[in-house]
Structure 1
Amino acid sequence: MPHTELLAVVERDGFVESEHRGVAVVIDPDGRVIERHGDVTLPFLARSALKPLYAATMLDAGLVELEPACAALASASHHGEQVHVDTATAMAAALGVDEDALRCPPMRAPGGGERRFAHMCVGKHITMAAAARALGEPEGYWADEHPLGALLRRGVAQAAGEAEGLVAHDGCGALVFSTTPVGMARAFRRLAPDGEGAFRAVGDAMRAHPVLIDGEGKPDAVVIAETGCATKFGAEGTQAIVAPDGTTVVVKAADGARRAGAPVAIALLERVGAIPEGTGERLAEPLGLVQRSADVPVGILRPVV
């Protein structure tokens, strides 16, 4: 991928064991690009990092009403912990959505068995099912031709300030739309504490409920709780993060690995002064960046941007 740059390396006892290439962009609170690595104007799929934008679009359209915990779950890619299943159960009941009507496949639930409420994307699916019913088209909310798809595609494009993206199909069975990294950053910036309307509400919900976004001790939950940023990973190596002041970073790892996204984004936010210097070093252990031999640290995943 010639349009990428080296973003991070994994070191062990002086050896560089692996490299993560990709693209990254930083925009300031006014939406201006202040740093870029690689070509950030090419379309890509942000995958689950789009979930907060979907939630905000459906809220803004007046199709659903979501309590903060439910708005967080609508934005989440969780690990099927009891708190996630319980929140999904309550959310579906409040919105009048039946578990069996959801497109997301069943996954292992706490205590055994499989349930759709344990799927990492269930909050998005519950919200979409309720929104589809509000549109008068309750069946097939995931289909290419469903009016909800057109609404979400338009909402993402408007938030990004770009033409409507191409349509693809996510792993959970829902639609996903392309953006550019810089467009994604401008859309995600709207989730900041000084954002407006539904976007600010979703961002506030993410900041208030970090464990619902990911899981206890998981990277997104750690970053949100420890920095006050709103952040969301997406499958195949996307990380989007907006700092409390509105500075926003989007990272896309070319190898599809998740592990480089958060540390690279944090390093970039540190450099432009959006979060305190030393944040990345402080979070290296909880983010699982330290490489070990038994219990002895012998290396680290290190951003090189």
Structure 2
Amino acid sequence: MPSTTLLAVVERDGFTEAEHHGVAVLVDPDGAVIEAHGDITRAFLARSSLKPLYAASLIAAGLVELQPEHAALASASHHGHHEHLETAQAMAKALGVDEHALRCPPMRDPEGVLRRFAHMCAGKHIALAAAARALGASDDYWSGDHPLTAILRDGIAVATDEAIRQSARDGCGAIVFPTTPVGLARAFRRLAPDGTGAHRLVGDAMRAHPTLIDGAGRPDAVVIAETGCATKFGAEGTQAIVAPDGTTAVVKTADGARRAGAPVALALLERAGAVPRGTLDRLAEPLGLVQRSADEPVGMLRVTV
């Protein structure tokens, strides 16, 4: 990331302990750039932040019909809690998908049993497996030359309004595509309550089921429940948040740290009036921004843009 800016610092008793550099962009409900920090036109891998856009692409293509809780799980990076496992099982049953057909590696469920349904990307993989079958294609839906790959690529390209000519392999075994921060922001704003079609359906599902997206008390679940925004983090420091009015922020940290993403995005949204003033201060504790010595506050993660 050759052109970045200082996004946030972590302070403790007057010392700066850490600095998070990266890029950030804020777009208005029409997609016009309000703020840009760093190079917002350089392509990167948004990883799991693309999941809601994948789910919308599959629905728009007529390949899957997802109940709201299943659309939320398809957009999620969960932690294998009972709620997530039960939803994954119900989703797979509804779509006729066998757990062993999933590409995502098994992880341990709350009882310590290795299950593919316990993987944080299980919902996405269930939807992809069902879509591959609907196409009448082979079951290796993760392959770069699978017909499903072109459908996902085209869906992301249309949503971002960017040409996509490359792909990479995500940690879960699925395909991931590059986007620019501004392209991702313009795509994510389609998930707003006044969006249309499959994107609005997915955004509504995320807002209705925050703990399916991340897990109780986790950052994405906190932001969704407390602000009415739809948000999704991605591995290596991506955060995308669309406010109820459609104003959208995307943050990508250069060091891959997750902790700066939501605070920076919320600060931008707050400054634009898209979320109420004081939102970031109110959520500092549940988002883990307060630095402590035992139980005494001694510092804070502070946004610098």
TM-score where L is the length of structure 2: 0.99
Structure 1: segments with no counterpart, 5+ residues: none
Partners of 1:165 and 1:289 in 2: CA distance: 38
Equivalent runs, 1:201-280 vs 2, <5 Å: 201-280=201-280
CA-to-aligned-CA distance 1:89-145 (integer Å, 9 cap, x gap): 000000000000000000010112110000000000000000000111141000011
**CA, structure 1 residues 133+181, in 2 after alignment: closer, same or farther (shift >3 Å)?**
same
Partners of 1:112 and 1:2 in 2: CA distance: 43
Secondary structure, in 3 states, of the residue corresponding to 1:105? coil
CA-to-aligned-CA distance 1:159-199 (integer Å, 9 cap, x gap): 00111242000000000000100000000000000000000
Partners of 1:217 and 1:182 in 2: CA distance: 29
Structure 2: segments with no counterpart, 5+ residues: none
Q: Does 1:70 align with 2:73?
A: no
Partners of 1:139 and 1:124 in 2: CA distance: 15
Give 1:166's aligned residue: 166
Amino acid at match of 1:232: K
CA-to-aligned-CA distance 1:2-60 (integer Å, 9 cap, x gap): 40000000000000000000000000001100100000000000000000000000000
Partners of 1:234 and 1:139 in 2: CA distance: 26
Query: Percent identity among equivalent residues?
Result: 75
Amino acid at match of 1:287: L
Equivalent runs, 1:45-124 vs 2, <5 Å: 45-124=45-124
Partners of 2:289 and 2:108 in 1: CA distance: 28
Partners of 2:30 and 2:139 in 1: CA distance: 40
Give 2:37's aligned residue: 37
Give 2:22's aligned residue: 22
Given that residues 165 and 179 in structure 1 are in contact (C-alpha distance below 8 angstroms), is that contact kept between their aligned partners in structure 2? no
Partners of 2:31 and 2:237 in 1: CA distance: 23
CA RMSD of aligned residues (A): 0.6
Partners of 1:99 and 1:233 in 2: CA distance: 25
Partners of 1:101 and 1:295 in 2: CA distance: 47
Amino acid at match of 2:239: Q
Given that residues 129 and 138 in structure 1 are in contact (C-alpha distance below 8 angstroms), is that contact kept between their aligned partners in structure 2? no
Given that residues 157 and 165 in structure 1 are in contact (C-alpha distance below 8 angstroms), is that contact kept between their aligned partners in structure 2? no
CA-to-aligned-CA distance 1:280-301 (integer Å, 9 cap, x gap): 0000000011000000000010
Structure 1 residue ranges (4+ consecutive) displaced by more than 3 angstroms after TM superposition: none
Partners of 1:59 and 1:8 in 2: CA distance: 37
Q: Does 1:13 align with 2:13?
A: yes
Q: After TM superposition, give the deviation of residue 80 of structure 1 in Å.
A: 0.6
Give 2:133's aligned residue: 133
Q: After TM superposition, give the deviation of residue 244 of structure 1 in Å.
A: 0.1
**CA, structure 1 residues 165+21, in 2 after alignment: closer, same or farther (shift >3 Å)?**
farther
The aligned length equals 305
Secondary structure, in 3 states, of the residue corresponding to 2:285? coil
